Amino acid sequence: MIIVTGGAGFIGSNLVAGLNDAGVEDILIVDSLGSSGKFKNLRGLKFLDFMDKSDFMVSLKRGGLAGKKIRAVFHQGACSDTLNPDGNYMMENNYRYSADLLNFALSGGIPFIYASSASVYGSGTRGFREEPACEFPLNLYAFTKHLFDAHIRRVLPHCGSQV
The arithmetic mean of pLDDT across residues 46-57, rounded, is: 97
pLDDT in tens, 136-147: 999 999 999 999
- Write down all domains in the chain, each with its CATH number in brackets: 2-158 (3.40.50.720)
Look up residue 118 and give its amino acid: A
How many whole angstroms separate alpha carbon 140 and alpha carbon 148?
13
Residues facing 5 on adjacent strands: 30, 75
pLDDT at 34: 82
How many whole angstroms separate alpha carbon 42 and alpha carbon 48?
12
Look up residue 109 and give its amino acid: G
- Start-to-end C-alpha separation, the chain: 18
For helices 140-155 and 97-107, angle between their N-to-C axes, nearest 10 degrees: 20
pLDDT in tens, 80-132: 888 999 999 999 999 999 999 999 999 999 999 998 999 999 988 998 888 88
